[in-house]
Chains A and B, each alone.
Chain A
Amino acid sequence: AQTVTQSQPEMSVQEAETVTLSCTYDTSESDYYLFWYKQPPSRQMILVIRQEAYKQQNATENRFSVNFQKAAKSFSLKISDSQLGDAAMYFCAYRSSNYGGATNKLIFGTGTLLAVQP
């Protein structure tokens, strides 16, 4: 069974600085998808960025980028120029590339609570 581990329960960053959130996962599959979700306090969870395992190039979305190391099964999120609105719980998630039923499910880590200091 696949597992996702986030070893940093809490992180803090100064506004305008850069922070990296760690995520490791375990799987025997060769093709899969990885995601970072953001859950602000009392607000909906939203997708920040995703990575297809078959792609070697790291995904980027504006100030958000990932460092995907497939051999090491590592998928870290880098937030550049941190803003106060980035304060949230961040979840790393894994999804199988297989189609149908419960394989659609996302397997989540326990999350990292990011505080942004003004």
Chain B
Amino acid sequence: ETGVTQTPRHLVMGMTNKKSLKCEQHLGHNAMYWYKQSAKKPLELMFVYSLEERVENNSVPSRFSPECPNSSHLFLHLHTLQPEDSALYLCASSQVKLVGVDEQYFGPGTRLTVT
């Protein structure tokens, strides 16, 4: 596997289910991100893990819970979701540097449908 991988690619879940999205990066990066992509809206950053620091977007509901056990793996735990949470969830990684810009590499995304 190369780059950033995400599983599953598609997920359908009921509002009472609990599921997890998985992301793995094979690039040796030190930062990982979760973005939400909804139709006709800008991509929205949900969570950042950068240099072992977790940064949250305060508008993300608590029914989304991230976990980053190490620098290569990132999870998004989902519980009691709402239909409006249906979207494409993108994972990204980058090598954050003190000087200069880091390029974010994206995974293929998980298409989530909440019924």
Q: How many residues of A contact B (CB 8 A)?
A: 26
- CA separation between A112 and B101, bound complex, in Å? 24
- CA separation between A7 and B63, bound complex, in Å? 33
Q: Is the CB of B43 within 8 A of A104?
A: no
Contact of B101 among A33, A44, A105 (CB under 8 A): A33
Bin chain B's interface residue count.
20 to 34
B11 at the interface (CB under 8 A from A): no
Q: Which of A56-64, A68-76, A79-87, A93-101 contacts B (4 or more CB under 8 A)?
A: A93-101
Q: Which of B17-25, B48-56, B69-77 contacts A (4 or more CB under 8 A)?
A: B48-56
Given A33-B101, A52-B101: A99 and B96 interface contact (C-beta under 8 Å):
yes
B33 at the interface (CB under 8 A from A): yes
Q: Is the CB of B101 within 8 A of A95?
A: yes
Using a CB–CB cutoff of 8 Å, the interface residues on chain B facing chain A are: 3-4, 31, 33, 40-43, 45, 48, 50-51, 53, 55, 57, 90, 94, 96-98, 101-109
